[in-house]
A and B are shown apart, each in its own frame.
Chain A
Amino acid sequence: MKTIKNFVLAVLVAIISITSANALDLIAPSSIGGTTHKFSIIIQRDLQNKGFDVNLIVAGNCVLGKKIWKDTEEAIFITTEASNAVPECTVEITEDNYALNLFTAGWVIVSHTNSLGERMGVVSYMKQTVKDLDVKLVPYKNTTEIKAAFIAGEIDSGFLTHGRASEIEEKIVLINTMSSNKGAFSQWKNNNLTLNYYVLGKNLDSKIIDAMKNNKKINDIATKKQMIPVELESTVEQVKYLLTNQEAWQ
């Protein structure tokens, strides 16, 4: 019954999204079916249920996402430091447009042995973050591909989110960036690197930001996947934190 209700709701949402000219744009600067798209749908559904008129735009990639963001008058934009670190995709984070941090993910280096080995799998746009490690970097599209390569024995080690790494049964964790014990990586400058999924807003009503903060599904995922968002006391500190983190990603 609940599913049928949701389906009817989804159809109504789709119709409303198409017909409504004044809806708030929710921009996912990513491809359809990806993680950012999923989070965007969860937020859109929740905001619709709370009475806000929201039109989801899945841009296809971060370059087009930035273009749509520039052209829009009133919008929500969900992004990460990793995406924002690509020069063609950078949307400036300011105290005015920062709205909310959804998730903070830690990163892990897993290996078959106690060392990095010869070849380490890394997400292509993240190569800069691990370039000073003494290992050959093999680029992959995402952490799922790295997991596949690690399992198949194609790479000796892999740089993965904590959540993705936890899915691999046979592994040795060399470092967890969210742990205080940095092991052999105490000198590595990015040993505390995190990835934040955060929201920027343009001409956004504070009621909408409050509504997004109280999204039960998002909060459940954060708890379940150990991605509780880092939220500092002031917006100034929060923006500084994201900008510092973004530099590490560049």
Chain B
Amino acid sequence: MEVTLFFSGILLGVFAGLMPGIGVFTTLILIYPLLLDLTISQLLILYIPLLSISQYLGSVPALYFKIPGESTSFIATEYGYPLFHKGHYDLIPLTAIGSFVATLISAFIIACLPFILENFFYGLLSTKFMFFLILLTGACLVGTSKNSWLLTIGLMILGLILGNIGFNASNGRFFGTFGIDWLSYGIPIFPFIVGLYVIPNVLDINPSSITSKHIDSAYSSSVLKLKKYFSKMLSGSFIGVVTGFIPIVGKIIGVSVSRALYKSSDKNSVVVAESSNNSAIFTALIPLFLFGLPITMGEILIFNIAETNYYNLTTEFKNLLQTPLLPIVIVLSGIAGLILSWPLARYCSMVFRMPITWLKTFLLSIVLGSLFYLGIENNMLWYYVLILIFFIPIGYLLRKNDVIPLIFSFIFAKISITIFERIII
């Protein structure tokens, strides 16, 4: 049963990593009824590979097609994509190896948890620390964006305004709904990103001469380059370890901050960012294991399901930490991610054999199919379509600019305002 769950987690991770918009949380929702009968350890055996593999593979469609498979893939799309298509094919193996290094470090930290004083982590959960990191992310975005600083700040303010539309459950207030019921939900992130970013980019895709041989050669040569990139992988991993503690947006803060260590045209910036997200996803699990505190959407779902079946979940998690199960599952997931990235990268190169019009149609069909699916699933298909139509022209106008500051501040919007309000009380 456990082995089946582990492999199911891997398959689901492939699905979550490759399908735009279908992240870890949505994938868990798809199999929700199945999860209700699982024990905590079974839930984690399914959840950890799903989480890990989605991060490993999210960068593949990002580098090939400039389509973000995961929310952290924007660094790969915006900064990795141009490098990859200039012939830096080793970005795929290097990001995969970087992710593996981060996975090993995370597994080690989680294995050490029973021996670390819990008080050590209190500071990482503090509101002031979170606020500091969010400000640091803002500064990194302004300082390293391809845009002028004025435009970047303007885009960030726009992102904060758009992201705050709707009902904010943290402060109990409505903002910018103008009495329209649908706006109380806020602007759904997927049609927003598809309209603003994905569709303009897909329409802009050029033919590529990349072949499976290029990928094979990149994989074999990357082993020789490992020494050169190892320190970058380590620094990215450690940044992710710290930022992983920020609720909901920790991994995005991690990739933003670590990427800012290098110039946007530097391959290191992508390697370090892709290492960071893999350690962030695992350290985000530490508050759950130590204090029974879920801090990401996926964890909230897992916790919510598990608490139905247990009297005291905190004790259950602590008991689980006394066993080697979690580090083992994390390492095995990392190995699976590393192995899977190679054939997947080869397979993606074959897609470029299609005529470019067919390729664009194919990619748009996948993206729009996901959008329609999510719209129907959330009972708001028309709202999704309206949001998409509204943002396509804006995306087209901004297509020559770096819109990452707009997208990230949109994602940060509600939590930033909430944390700011808490600090000033």
A133 interfacial contact with B, CB 8 Å: no
Docked CA distance A60–B29 (Å):
14
User: With A3-B34, A138-B422, A153-B122 in contact, do A68 and B304 touch (Cβ < 8 Å)?
Assistant: no
Which B residues are CB-close (under 8 A) to A67?
181
Which B residues are CB-close (under 8 A) to A10?
31-34
User: With A64-B185, A138-B422, A139-B172 in contact, do A144 and B293 touch (Cβ < 8 Å)?
Assistant: yes
User: With A57-B379, A124-B172, A139-B170 in contact, do A41 and B295 touch (Cβ < 8 Å)?
Assistant: no
Would A151 and B172 count as touching, CB distance under 8 A? no
B126 interfacial contact with A, CB 8 Å: yes
Which B residues are CB-close (under 8 A) to A145?
170, 247
Would B287 and A148 count as touching, CB distance under 8 A? yes
Chain B window 80-108, contacts with chain A (Cβ cutoff 8 Å), 1 for yes, 0 for no: 00000000000000000000000000000
Binds B, one of A32-40, A189-197, A202-210, A240-248: A32-40
Which A residues are CB-close (under 8 A) to B312?
166-167
Which B residues are CB-close (under 8 A) to A153?
122, 126
Chain B window 158-199, contacts with chain A (Cβ cutoff 8 Å), 1 for yes, 0 for no: 000000001111111110000001101100000000000000
Would B378 and A3 count as touching, CB distance under 8 A? no
Which B residues are CB-close (under 8 A) to A224?
311
User: With A6-B37, A61-B184, A136-B425 in contact, do A125 and B291 touch (Cβ < 8 Å)?
Assistant: no
A83 to chain B, nearest CB (A): 11
B36 interfacial contact with A, CB 8 Å: yes
A13 interfacial contact with B, CB 8 Å: yes
B300 interfacial contact with A, CB 8 Å: yes
User: With A6-B34, A6-B37, A154-B126 in contact, do A144 and B294 touch (Cβ < 8 Å)?
Assistant: yes
Chain B window 271-315, contacts with chain A (Cβ cutoff 8 Å), 1 for yes, 0 for no: 000000000000000010001111101001101110110011110
User: With A10-B34, A127-B172 in contact, do A167 and B314 touch (Cβ < 8 Å)?
Assistant: yes
Docked CA distance A153–B181 (Å):
38
Docked CA distance A63–B166 (Å):
10
List A122-144 residues whose CB lies under 8 Å from chain B: 124-125, 127, 136-142, 144
Which B residues are CB-close (under 8 A) to A169?
314
Would B379 and A59 count as touching, CB distance under 8 A? yes
A221 interfacial contact with B, CB 8 Å: yes
Which A residues are CB-close (under 8 A) to B291?
147-148, 151
Q: Which residue of B lies closest to A140 (CB)?
A: B170
A93 interfacial contact with B, CB 8 Å: no
Would A60 and B425 count as touching, CB distance under 8 A? no
Checking A32, A42, A86, A140 against B29 with a beta-carbon cut-off of 8 angstroms, the contacting residue is A32
A232 interfacial contact with B, CB 8 Å: no
A88 interfacial contact with B, CB 8 Å: yes
User: With A33-B29, A224-B311 in contact, do A38 and B305 touch (Cβ < 8 Å)?
Assistant: yes
Would A61 and B292 count as touching, CB distance under 8 A? no
B38 interfacial contact with A, CB 8 Å: yes
B125 interfacial contact with A, CB 8 Å: yes
List B128-162 residues whose CB lies under 8 Å from chain A: none
Docked CA distance A3–B35 (Å):
9
B323 to chain A, nearest CB (A): 21
Docked CA distance A137–B287 (Å):
24
Would A64 and B293 count as touching, CB distance under 8 A? no
Q: Which residue of A lies closest to B415 (CB)?
A: A141
Would A151 and B125 count as touching, CB distance under 8 A? yes
Checking A32, A58, A88 against B184 with a beta-carbon cut-off of 8 angstroms, the contacting residue is A88
B366 interfacial contact with A, CB 8 Å: no
User: With A167-B312, A224-B311 in contact, do A63 and B167 touch (Cβ < 8 Å)?
Assistant: yes
B117 interfacial contact with A, CB 8 Å: no
Which A residues are CB-close (under 8 A) to B378?
32, 58, 60
A162 interfacial contact with B, CB 8 Å: no
Q: Which residue of B lies closest to A32 (CB)?
A: B29
19 A-B contact pairs sorted by A residue (CB < 8 Å): A3-B1, A6-B33, A7-B33, A45-B36, A58-B378, A63-B184, A64-B182, A64-B184, A67-B181, A124-B168, A136-B425, A139-B170, A139-B422, A141-B418, A147-B291, A148-B125, A148-B291, A151-B293, A167-B313
In order of increasing CB-CB distance, the 9 nearest A-B pairs are: A124-B172, A10-B33, A152-B125, A63-B184, A141-B170, A33-B301, A7-B34, A60-B185, A141-B169
Q: Which residues of B contact A (CB under 8 A)?
A: 1, 25, 28-29, 31-34, 36-38, 122-123, 125-127, 166-174, 181-182, 184-185, 247, 287, 291-295, 297, 300-301, 303-305, 307-308, 311-314, 378-380, 418, 421-422, 425
- Beyond the given pairs A6-B36, A33-B29, A124-B173, 12 more chain A to chain B contacts, judged by CB atoms under 8 angstroms and listed by A's residue number, are A57-B379, A60-B380, A61-B167, A124-B172, A147-B293, A148-B295, A151-B125, A151-B293, A152-B126, A152-B127, A154-B126, A167-B313
